[in-house]
Amino acid sequence: MVAVLPHTKEEPEREGPAGFPCGEIHPVWPLRTEDDYLRAVEVVDKLAIKGEDDLSEAEQDQLDIFSALMEVYENMHHPMDLPKLPPVEFLKKLLELSGMNESDLGRLLGERSLGHKILKGERQLSKGHIL
């Protein structure tokens, strides 16, 4: 699927993400290499920044297609081998990998002491915290 918006003479053609002119729907291509994948990431980022409510139907279709292709590529070439840990231990591992501590977690949640309480099992994350 390729949709191209007309280019007017008053508007100079500008290059956008992945080397395509701005304001155009980008062609869809298979993701066979890391370069293909990175070009798709640029297009998805641009569409995501625009926001779903502001996307045309063609742009939403493109976002859906590239998202699906990227998920398949990531699963094939960058599989995540997540350990089977209890939720609190998994959260601790994520914090460690991110270079964060319990105070950082608390600040993210809006209350510094909450990070300590969650990691000690005294409190649980609420839906509000997760969203």
- On whether the CB atoms of residues 45 and 20 are closer than 8 A, the answer is no
Residue 66: how many other CB atoms lie within 10 Å: 22
Going from N- to C-terminal start, the domains of the chain cover: 17-77, 87-130
pLDDT tens digits, one per residue of 32-71: 999 999 999 999 998 888 887 888 999 999 999 999 999 9
**Residue 31 and residue 40: Cα distance in Å, rounded?**
8
Residue 79 is predicted with a pLDDT of: 82
Query: 0.75 cut: is pTM over it?
Result: no
- On whether the CB atoms of residues 27 and 65 are closer than 8 A, the answer is no
Beta strands in 3-126 (DSSP E): none
Residue 23 is predicted with a pLDDT of: 53
Is residue 29 over pLDDT 60? yes
In this prediction, residue 22 has a pLDDT band, given cuts at 50, 70 and 90, of: very low
In this prediction, residue 85 has a pLDDT band, given cuts at 50, 70 and 90, of: confident
Burial of 8: CB neighbours in 10 Å, binned 0-12, 13-18, 19+: exposed
Reference 47, options 35, 36, 56, 38; nearest CA is: 56
Residue 128 is predicted with a pLDDT of: 77
